[in-house]
Structure formats: C-alpha cells, structure tokens
C-alpha cells in the first residue's frame, strides 16, 4: 500500500536558520508530489507541487523541494526561515487511481 | 470569491449516533474530497466526488459515506459513531478531477464523540 513518511514531527529553529523537512513515499509508479502548509488559524494551502520535468520545484515564500526518484523522496527546503514560517507542513502524494496520501505532518516552530 | 465552506464548525455526538457534515465548494469547482485529520495521523483520505459520482474511496469502513449534489455541494455521513471517529473532518475542492489539481481546503468540522 502507498504511504507517506515525514520523519520529523516537531522542528524548532531560530530565525535565519536553514530548514529541511524530510518526506519519503512508497509507490512505484508515476506520482505527483505536493507540500501543503497550515498556518495557525488558517486553512491548509498549497506550498508547491511537482508533476514532471525539473525535479527542483519552487513554491511560495521562498520554499523549494527536490524530487529524488531513486530515493522516493521529496524534501522541503528553505535557506533562511522566518518567524512567519511557523506552521504545520504536510507532504502529499497522489499516485495511481488519483488517491491522495498525506504524511502525518511536521510542526515547525521558528523562534524570533 | 468565497472559499470552501464547511458546516457545522463543531459537533458533539454520543456513541451510536449518526452525523452529517456539509461542504460547499468554491464556485465553479466540480471535485470535492474529504479527509479525516487526527493528531499524529495526518490527513487520511476518505473519498472524492466528481459530477455526483464517487471517484475514489479511502480505507474507511462502510459507516462512512458521502454524496455530491448537482450543484457540487457534498455531504458526508457517519453512522453508528465510535469514540475513534473523533477528529477534524476536512473538505477540499478543486476545479477538475485530476492528479495535478490544486486542493482548496475548508476550515473543517471538529467532531467529538462522547
């Protein structure tokens, strides 16, 4: 069965630190990959997505993610986090039969 | 443009009861999907509807059902509630049914089963 693993459940960083959130999925076919973010008190919203082409995708607010097919990974990165990046981040995979699979989420707390 | 609207915002029920949750998608969106969110479990896919037809279904028991109306509004029903059904139920809409479609989420309905 398909699954999505987010290795870090809770990350605490200081402002200006670099961020990398891990995401691994188990699915052998063609996949579409997403990162969604939920800021405190707000709806889940799309941060970035990968369908095909350049494996390095850029999203909103300076975030980027790299799809490494051989490692079944889609890690999220940001060179320098801000306090406003405090949120919960969800990795998602949409593979065969168009079912969405979400990870359990990573709570990021950025200290000012 | 109004976002995805879910009602009610909060629900408290007791075991054995049934509940119906409602979702109004963004105007013009034809696909609606439902998710169960619990702490530590993330979002688990329940089902997806497009043009009044269920297109995909997650691994939930038959107590969980849904439907979509001709105006794309959707309802989700849970019968014979169990304590473990306590969760935030999220609805999301998208323009079309497709693997690459961006999901727009509602605020969710927080269901507590006592």
Strand partners, B34: B47, B91
pLDDT at A31: 85
Task: Indicate if the pLDDT at residue B29 is higher than 70.
Answer: yes
Most confident of A35-39, B41-45, B94-98: A35-39
Contact A46 B102 (CB under 8 A): yes
Mean pLDDT of B35-50: 90
Contact B98 A90 (CB under 8 A): no
Give the pLDDT band of residue A7 (cuts 50, 70, 90): confident
pLDDT at A40: 93
CA atoms lying within 13 Å on the CB side of residue B85: 27
Contact B42 A102 (CB under 8 A): yes
Contact predicate A48/A42, CB 8 Å: no
Of A6, A44, A104, the CB nearest to B105: A44
Q: What is the DSSP letter of B59?
A: S
- Percent of chain B's residues with pLDDT above 70: 98
Q: Is A31 exposed, middle or buried (0-12, 13-18, 19+ CB in 10 A)?
A: buried
Contact A102 B48 (CB under 8 A): no
In whole angstroms, give the CA distance from residue A70 to residue A105: 23
In whole angstroms, give the CA distance from residue A112 to residue A94: 35
Mean pLDDT of A20-47: 91
- Percent of chain B's residues with pLDDT above 90: 82
- Nearest chain A residue to B34 by CA: give it: A100
Mean pLDDT of A8-27: 94
Between the two ends of chain A, the Cα-to-Cα distance in Å is: 41
Token pair of B33, please? Answer: 């999907």
A104 and chain B: CB distance < 8 Å anywhere?
A: yes
Contact predicate B20/B42, CB 8 Å: no
Mean pLDDT of B63-80: 96
B105 and chain A: CB distance < 8 Å anywhere?
A: yes
In whole angstroms, give the CA distance from residue B49 to residue B63: 17
Contact predicate B80/B18, CB 8 Å: yes
B102 and chain A: CB distance < 8 Å anywhere?
A: yes
Task: Indicate if the pLDDT at residue B98 is higher than 90.
Answer: no
Task: Indicate if the pLDDT at residue A53 is higher than 80.
Answer: yes
Of A6, A90, A99, the CB nearest to B58: A99
In whole angstroms, give the CA distance from residue A13 to residue A88: 14
For chain A, the helix, strand and coil percentages under 3-state DSSP, each to the nearest 5: 10, 55, 35
Chain A residues closer than 8 Å to B106 by CB:
43
Contact A49 B56 (CB under 8 A): no
Q: Is the bond into B8 cis (omega within 30 degrees of 0)?
A: yes
In whole angstroms, give the CA distance from residue B32 to residue B109: 15
Task: Indicate if the pLDDT at residue A85 is higher than 70.
Answer: yes
Most confident of A87-101, B2-16, B31-45: B2-16
């Amino acid at each position: 069965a398909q699954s999505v693993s987010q290795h870090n459940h809770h990350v605490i960083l200081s402002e200006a630190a670099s961020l990398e959130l891990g995401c691994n999925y188990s699915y052998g076919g063609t996949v579409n990959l997403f990162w969604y973010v939920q800021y405190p008190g707000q709806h889940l919203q799309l941060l970035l997505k990968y369908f095909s082409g350049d494996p390095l995708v850029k999203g909103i607010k300076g975030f980027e993610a790299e799809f490494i097919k051989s490692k079944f990974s889609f890690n999220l990165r940001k060179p320098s986090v801000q306090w406003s990046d405090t949120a919960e981040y969800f990795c998602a995979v949409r593979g065969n039969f168009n079912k969405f699979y979400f990870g359990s989420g990573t709570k990021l707390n950025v200290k000012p | 443009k109004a976002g995805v609207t879910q009602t009610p915002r909060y629900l408290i029920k007791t075991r054995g009861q049934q509940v119906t949750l409602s979702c109004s998608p963004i105007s013009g969106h034809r696909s609606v999907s439902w998710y169960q969110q619990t702490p530590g479990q993330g979002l688990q896919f329940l089902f997806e509807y497009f043009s009044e037809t269920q297109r995909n279904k997650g691994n939930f028991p038959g107590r969980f059902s849904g439907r979509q109306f001709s105006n794309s509004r959707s309802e989700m029903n849970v019968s014979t509630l169990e304590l473990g059904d306590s969760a935030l139920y999220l609805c999301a809409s998208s323009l079309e049914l497709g693997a690459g479609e961006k999901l727009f989420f509602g605020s969710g309905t927080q269901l507590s089963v006592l």
